[in-house]
Amino acid sequence: MNLLATRIDLDAIAHNTRTMKDLVGGARLMCVVKADAYNHGVERVVPVMERAGADAFAVATFEEARTVRALTDLPVLAWLWAPGQDIPEGIEVAAPNIAHLRALADAPAAPRVHLKVDTGMNRAGIDEEDWDEAFSFARRAGLDVVGVMSHLARADEPGQDYNDVQAATFRRAIECARGHGLAVETNHLSNSPATLTRPDLRFEQVRVGVALYGLEPVEGADNGLRPAMSWVATVLAVRRVAAGEGVSYGLTWQAPADGYTAVISAGYADGLPRAWQERFEVGIAGARYPQVGRVCMDQFIVWLGENPRGVAPGDEAVIFGAGGPGATELAARVGTINYEVVCSPAGRTAREYVGGGGDSGDSAAGAGADGEGEK
């Protein structure tokens, strides 16, 4: 038994991947598995997504690309790199400016290239005034260009006019590239929210991330996705406190009445920030209990009141996931987004797996045993 673990439902990952694949029809489904598959474990997640319909994978860094390349024969795209780095063999790369294009032209074995253009997010990409120079260079250098890519800044606001502004710019980039003799046959703009809400922006490929892990990217929407991660801790102790007594460092919280507290096995060294303190609840045996006092390095405290359900040491405490608040609810309580919430578990948090992810040879019990102690 792990005192603290993320429990990953591989069947939910498979369901979400199939849901997105069915939704996009003829478009290719590129599955984003950066940051260790959004902290779900890339080694277990990539094979499940491939069986469920993935057409390609995407990551941020070359190191991540090497890991994914070893797990699949499908295309793997990396977009966060600097000229001078050694480019792993067999991956595709994004080129966000002319310096990157020149580095690719000089590479010993030039990879397939995605021309990353800025359409208005103003974070990364070739600016429109540089398109002619960049696309002409790519053609003259004989680079193997897959297509044009960009990123939407406000896709989680489906009615936002800026999405249309960016889409129009993206279409101009495609036409400009073709005008310079580049085929750009596989172009991609849509992330998870755009894929779900803007079928007109799917082009030849979509680049889906958070939806694959069961998190709704558009507030208030319900697209039938199944959250794959639960973060579960353990009740270490139950303590009697009198009305007015304080708990944890600084005694910043005092019991409103005679009652009980529970000590839970997670702290900021495990990815639970002090900034969340006194802003969230945990689920124990079907009931919710508020966190109180300071979050410590290894533990935090919840208020049980009179403890009518008899919470006891050894009970499971759900920080988010099945049996507790969802990641999206927790995010709203602590002032962040569900993306950050699922990326938070760290430190001594183990990783456990349930479900076979569509593979009958990988039983739920076996997957859980395989996952014991991973991080």
State whether residue 122 is helix, strand or coil.
coil
pLDDT tens, residue by residue, 103-152: 999 999 889 999 999 999 999 999 999 999 999 999 999 999 999 999 99
249 is catalytic: yes
Which among 165, 123, 147, 153 has a CA at the least distance from the CA of 206?
147
Looking at residues 188-212, what average pLDDT do you find? 97
The 10s digit of each residue's pLDDT in 207-243 is 999 999 999 999 889 999 999 999 999 999 999 999 9
Q: What's the pTM value of the predicted model, to 2 decimals? A: 0.94
How confident is the model over 293-298, as a mean pLDDT? 98
Catalytic residue among 21, 38, 162, 249: 249
Joined together, the tokens standing for residue 339 give 């993306």
Q: What does pLDDT average to over the chain?
A: 95
Q: In 3D, which of 324, 369, 332 has the Cα closest to residue 350?
A: 369
Q: Residue 182: what pLDDT?
A: 98
Closest CA to 111 of 72, 81, 71: 81
Question: Which residue segments constitute the domains of the chain, with CATH numbers given?
Answer: 10-213 (3.20.20.10), 229-369 (2.40.37.10)
Give the HSE-up count for residue 265: Cα atoms under 13 Å, Cβ half-sphere.
22
322 near 282, Cβ under 8 Å? Answer: no
Burial class (CB in 10 A: 0-12, 13-18, 19+), 243: exposed
Question: Residue 18 pLDDT > 50, yes or no?
Answer: yes
Q: Which tokens belong to 195?
A: 């894929």
pLDDT at 373 over 90: no
The pLDDT, as a whole number, for residue 362 is: 40
DSSP three-state, residue 171: helix
Average pLDDT on 192-197 reads 97
Residue 359, pLDDT score: 57
* Residue in the structure block whose two tokens are 């260079």: 137
Task: Indicate if the alpha-carbon torsion angle 237, 301, 305, 335 is positive or negative.
Answer: negative
How many angstroms separate the CA atoms of 350 and 12, rounded?
19
Angle between helical axes of 131-140 and 161-179 (0-180°, round to 10)? 40
- Tell me which of 34, 268, 289, 353 is the catalytic residue: 34
Residue 368 has pLDDT above 70, yes or no: no
Radius of gyration of the chain (CA): 24
Rounded CA-CA distance 145/173 in Å is 14
Q: How confident is the model at residue 69 (pLDDT cuts 50, 70, 90)?
A: very high
pLDDT at 172: 98
pLDDT band of residue 1 (cuts 50, 70, 90) is confident
User: What's the rounded Cα separation, in Å, for the pair 134 and 132?
Assistant: 6
